Structure 1
Amino acid sequence: MATIKEIADKSNVSTSTVSRVLNNDQTLTVQTETRERILRVAKELGYETILERRLKQRQLNSKHVGIILTQSLDEEISDPYFLSIRQGIEMELASNGINTATFRLHETEGNQMMEGLDGLIVVGRVKETTLKAISQVDNVVYINHSQNEDLYDSVVINFELATEKALKHLVSIGYTRIGYIGGKEMEHMKNQRLISEDKRLTTFERFMKERDLFDQNAVFVGEYTMAQGYKLMKKAIQSAKLPEAFFIGSDPMAIGALRALQEANLNVPSDVAIIGFDDIEAAKFASTPLSTIRVHTREMGRTGVKLLLDRLNGRELPLTVTLPTELVIRESCGGLVTK
């Protein structure tokens, strides 16, 4: 948004004059042509007066926004990825004074709980038919999943690109026998859980096959929990040929895997290298600090709220925002200076 100084410079008047005109100071004596010029320049530069901003804020404060969570409370606790997204949403809504209601999809029946909402923020994967069955809200923002980019706003990351960053690094420092440990992407509904495609796994398979390095026996899939990371790594250790490096689909799983390797007296990274995914706070404090893919989860939540508020202010064109990810190198995979 333009500043008062920019408007003053373009209007060829002082900043104090611009400020008083934009705030409708009736005690100011100024020529009509000058006043009109200032207002025209302010409009051209997209400036909002304090009164206009206050009016918009009052309008927003009267809105009611629902947050639909596709994860159970246990899943949120065991894997902070979605918890961090939710915290970003709640912080941004609170800072804007928006009234909110939170629902967990697997606990919701019918649309009796979804009435009277001006907008919805959906965290995770929900089919369009499922969403319409529980709510008739038009303004919907998806986070971590893009359901229909022609209709809905969404905030996502590029899982394929993020996975390739990790694998390219492992290959670049000489690893060829690379394994995968991950969970299942779930769509939760009342009384059922549907398994969906996990782009981390499918990208891993494609990447390794393209280089003739894929080994089905090096793929281990369970649930996205620390306990499952531990269990799956123990299974990998007991297999005939332990991979020399692993890409692991979440940091909690990677921390569990580290424990299994430690119990087997295997050193990380000299015996087995690891790259995780998320960069949760615990990653840098693990027994061997984790190399990982950093995902800006809280910013995903904040961005989702900003998109929804923009919709409520009148934007009609749906937008998809893809936030970047970063490869963070620490001790668990070696090869580069640690952070």
Structure 2
Amino acid sequence: MTTIKDVANEAGVSISTVSRILNFDDTLSVGEDTRRRVLEVAEKLQYKKRNKRQVKTGKQIAIVQWHTDKEELSDLYYLQIEYGIENKAASLGATIERVTYESIDKNRIKNFDGIIAVGKFDKTEVTELASYGLPVICIGENYLQYGLDCIRSDFESPVRKIVDRFIEKGINDIGMIAGKELTVTEKQGVRDPRVATFNQYLSEKGLYNSDFVFQGPFGPDSGFELMNEAIGKLGDKLPHGFMIGSDSMAVGVLRALQQHNIKVPDRVSIISFNDVAIAKYTSPALTTVHVHTELMGERAIEMLLQRIKNPKKVPELTIIATELVNRESSK
């Protein structure tokens, strides 16, 4: 099992620096390069050593990122997916290049063999990507209506499992701190299937309370602010169970609860999503839904190669299962 010492050794920094970076300590004065290096090392070591890069032969693939590099470091879900893409590409002798949607060179990208678009894109953006005449695989949403192959995680099933788990533990007052996202070009709100399933499933059980649902940007600062808002608004009526939209949000949630001397999991049980490396190093360690991000990236490469080989193949939607990882933050 990877330890903080392993991360520190590979990143070339102290153990305390690693701990503070993984807990998004904003009082730590380190450069962005150091922060990125530590987070990337932690993510790599959580799974396995990445394959050594092979000679640059074979297909050339562009990874089009939805987020900027800085945004990606505040919520590591997409970074994990990209490692899966890179690992699979390296094993097949393909080369990849990362670009953000806004930085695409429209003339240069046509020299690639295909595109893997990672994130949440609106109609304008999807239409633009398809206009380059290259095979496009999308990771994150269902884009079958645009004739594109796509991959997404099953986020609906774990929401129901988490609710059932809370109820089995005698927790019937259940809250949610969820992420809220907008597309880059059209500034459209992105539907989160976890929020929709949470609202519907709790309503079916007669347990839904809109006062217990808080939404804001993904990331630790937002998690901290939203939990503080919940504590201030609800006081003693603060739910005993909370579902959190991402592990990075949960880091901020834990910090807010600790500052208010609210014990986890004795008073509030926390279950989050994604199972990025930081989930193991919080205090308490996070119970979280493991999303098979590396598998999503690997499958995207496979689907792209199939699409290149057979351009007229019927578009497919692949849904990857998730699983709950039990740690210390929930009863």
User: Which bin holds the TM-score, normalised by the shorter protein?
Assistant: 0.7 to 0.9
Q: 2:121 aligns with which of 114, 118, 126?
A: 126
In the TM superposition, what are the counterparts of 1:199-278 in structure 2 within 5 Å? 199-240=193-234, 241-278=237-274
Amino acid at match of 1:125: K
With structure 1 as the length reference, what TM-score do the two structures score? 0.75
Partner of 2:62: 66
Structure 2: how far apart are the matches of 1:162 and 1:75? Answer: 26
**Separation in 2, partners of 1:146, 1:211:** 28
State whether residues 117 and 137 of structure 1, in contact with CA within 8 Å, keep that contact through their aligned partners in structure 2: no
SS of structure 1 residue aligned to 2:67 = coil
Q: Matches of 1:299 and 1:149 in 2, distance apart?
A: 24
What letter corresponds to residue 87 of structure 1 in structure 2? Y
The secondary structure found in structure 2 opposite 1:188 is coil
Q: Which amino acid letter does the alignment assign opposite residue 256 of structure 1?
A: G
User: Secondary structure of 1:232's partner?
Assistant: helix
Deviations 1:136-156 (A, max 9, x none): 234111112121168222221
CA distance in 2 between counterparts of 1:100 and 1:332 reads 38
- Which residue does 2:291 correspond to in 1? 295
Task: State the 1:296 CA deviation.
Answer: 0.9
Q: Which amino acid aligns with 2:89?
A: L
Residue 193 of structure 1 aligns to a residue in which SS? Answer: coil
CA contact (8 A) 1:149 1:318 kept: no
Q: Give, in whole Å, the separation in 1 of the partners of 2:233 and 2:255.
A: 17
Letter in 2 for 1:112: N
Instruction: State how far apart, in whole Å, the 1-side matches of 2:248 and 2:315 are.
Output: 34
> Alpha-carbon deviations, 1:88-141, whole Å to 9, x = none?
1122112222233322113347x3343222211111122344233254234111
Contact 2:144–2:317 (CA under 8 A) maintained in structure 1: no
Could you tell me which of 143, 146, 153 is aligned with 1:147?
143
CA–CA distance in 1 between the matches of 2:206 and 2:197? 14
User: C-alpha separation between the residues in 2 aligned to 1:62 and 1:145?
Assistant: 28
Q: Any gaps of 5 or more consecutive residues in structure 2?
A: 1-54
Q: Is the 8 A contact 2:122 2:188 kept in 1?
A: no
Equivalent position of 2:322 in the other structure? 325
Q: What is the CA–CA distance in structure 2 between the aligned matches of 1:305 and 1:165, rounded to whole Å?
A: 31
Match of 1:195 in 2: 189
Displacement of 1:200 after TM fit?
Answer: 1.2
RMSD (Å), alpha carbons = 2.2
Structure 2 distance, partners of 1:157, 1:219, is 22
For 2:192, give the aligned amino acid.
Answer: D
Shift of the 312–108 alpha-carbon distance from structure 1 to 2, 3 Å rule, reads closer
Give the alignment partner of residue 162 of structure 1, picking from 158, 165, 171. 158
Work out whether residues 71 and 104 of structure 1, in 8 Å CA contact, stay in contact via their aligned partners in 2. Answer: yes
Once residues 207 and 256 of structure 2 are traced to their aligned partners in structure 1, the CA distance between those partners, rounded to angstroms, is 25
Give CA-to-partner distance per residue, 1:235-293, whole Å, 9 cap, x none.
Answer: 11112321111000101111111111111111111111110101111112211111111
Q: CA deviation at 1:204?
A: 1.0
C-alpha spacing 1:250/1:224, structure 2 compared with 1 (3 Å): same
d(CA) in 2 for partners of 1:129, 1:258: 38
**1:72-94, Cα deviation, whole Å (9 max, x unpaired):** 21221011100000111122112
SS at match of 1:187: coil
The residue aligned with 1:114 is 109
Structure 1 pair 184/155, CA: closer, same or farther in 2 (3 Å)? same
Structure number, greater radius of gyration: 1
Tell me the distance in 1 between the aligned counterparts of 2:184 and 2:77: 17
Alpha-carbon contact 2:110-2:134 (below 8 Å) kept? no
Structure 1 position 183 matched with structure 2 position 186: no
Is the Cα–Cα contact under 8 Å of residues 166 and 293 in structure 1 kept in the other structure? no
Within the candidate set 85, 89, 96, 1:93 is matched to 89
| CA distance in structure 1 between the partners assigned to 2:58 and 2:283 by the alignment | 48
Q: Deviations over 1:21-48 (max 9, x none)?
A: xxxxxxxxxxxxxxxxxxxxxxxxxxxx
1:7 corresponds in structure 2 to none
Mapping 1:50-65, distance limit 5 Å: 61-65=57-61
